[in-house]
Each structure stands twice: as C-alpha cells, then as structure tokens.
Amino acid sequence: MSRALLLAALTLAALALALDVSWFRPLKPGDYNEGFSACAFGDYVAVVGGTDGRGYVALLRRDSGSFVKEWRGEERSGYFFSCAVSGDVLYVAGEPGLYAFDRDLNVLYAVSPEGVRYNAVAAVGGYVYAAGYYDYDKLYIEKRTADLALVANATYIKDEWHLAEAYGVAVDPSTGYVWAVGRYDDGDYERPLILIFDSNLRLVR
C-alpha cells in the first residue's frame, strides 16, 4: 500500500471513530494508488483520489466500511484532490476537472475549463466554489451553480511573484466571503497565502 493511501485509510478510520463506529478499510484499486480526501455522503463515505493515472471515487458504508461501488476516470486523466457534499450530490475536484455525482456515482455534471487545475471544492448555500490555479502560475477561484454553470471567477498574482496557487477554499456563511488558502513563490521562497473575496469573487483583502 502506498503511503498516501495508508494516510487516507487512517483518515477514514478517524472519521469513523468520530461517528461512533469502528472500522478500517484499506483500498487498492490498482497498482499505483493515491487517496486525498473523504466526505460523509448520506449513508456512505466517499473517498477520492486516483489509481494508475486516472481519477478515482469509492463509496464505503459509513457504519461498516464495506465497499459499495467505485468510479474510475479516463486513462491518464489525472487525480482528484477534494470533495464536498450538498444534499444528494457529491462534488469532486482535481486534475480531471470538477464533477458532480449522484449517490449511485452517476456523473450528473462535469466541467473541465482549459488551463484550470482544481485543488479544492466547497459547496455552500446552493453554490459550488472551486479553487486551484490557472495557466500554471495564477491562483484561480470560481463560483458555480449546483449544476456547475459558471457564476463568477477570478485569478490573482502579483507582478513580482513567480506563481500563486490555492489549495483550499471555504465560505463564511455569515458574510458570504470566500476564503482561498494556498501559496505563492516570490522567486526566493514559497510562502503561505490567504485571500478573501466577496460573494462575487471581488478581492476584499
């Protein structure tokens, strides 16, 4: 088992303990496996990552950890890194794009904008927020409807920076502010970066 997949399994075990159940479920869907995120999804836990160069999503029973079903992306499509849940829809973001699945892992909607790499996704207040980078060097953030129609997007980088990238996205429901957390490279060091946008993705600070 790869180190990343072991960490994902340990994360699932911790999630299970938090839900007052006890189980452990290693996953080995292929020869090269990576697990990056897990989300409670109704009666299931959704595990997202990749296997053998393609995106991977697995559903496990929350009460027992037993395997239910899986979804695999196209060959060499890249890996998923983040997931979020809104009602009966699972949103998954990563190198293949931004996907919405139902509880049978049918793809409801999917987008893959040219030049965008997604690292994170959040689903709040009927909208989906995703973040990562654009054109390899600009921090990228976007807001979409539940069916993944684009509402607003933004990029951010300073002239003196070599690159900027978001690894996390969150929404403050009391203000509607959208927080992007990541890094920037000033040519000498990589440094942490936190940006705050309003609900229309205009930079606040």
Residue 118, φ and ψ in degrees, nearest 5: -90, 135
Q: Output the pLDDT for position 74.
A: 85
The H-assigned helical ranges of the chain are 3-18
- Give the start-end residues of each E strand in the chain: 33-41, 44-51, 54-61, 67-72, 80-86, 89-94, 97-101, 107-111, 116-124, 127-134, 138-145, 150-156, 163-171, 178-185, 190-197
Q: Output the pLDDT for position 192.
A: 96
Contact 41, 68 (CB under 8 A): no
The better pLDDT of the pair 74, 98 is held by 98
Compute the average pLDDT of residues 128-154. Answer: 96
Model confidence at 86: pLDDT above 70:
yes
**Exposed e or buried b per residue across 97-113, where buried means at least 16 C-beta atoms within 10 angstroms of its C-beta:** bbbbbebebeeebebee
Beta-sheet pairing, 54-61 with 44-51: antiparallel
The better pLDDT of the pair 31, 18 is held by 31
Mean confidence (pLDDT) of the chain: 89
Beta-sheet pairing, 54-61 with 67-72: antiparallel
Contact 184, 163 (CB under 8 A): yes
Q: Output the pLDDT for position 9.
A: 54
Tokens of 176: 């509607």
Model confidence at 20: pLDDT above 80:
no
**C-alpha to C-alpha distances, 194 to 69, 170, 181, 184, nearest whole angstrom:** 37, 11, 5, 10
Least confident of 14-28, 41-55, 136-150: 14-28
Helix (H, G, I), strand (E, B) or coil at 69: strand
How far the first Cα of the chain sits from its last, in Å, is: 42
Give 12's contacts (C-beta < 8 A, 6+ positions apart).
24, 25, 38, 45, 47, 60, 65
The pTM is what? 0.86
Q: Output the pLDDT for position 1.
A: 45
Share of residues in the chain with pLDDT > 90 (%): 71
Select from 108, 149, 153, 147 the least CA-distant residue to 130: 153
pLDDT tens per residue, range 177-187: 999 999 999 98
Question: Cα torsion for 158, 166, 184, 198, to the nearest 10°?
Answer: 40
Q: Output the pLDDT for position 34.
A: 86
Model confidence at 75: pLDDT above 90:
no
Tokens of 83: 């997931």
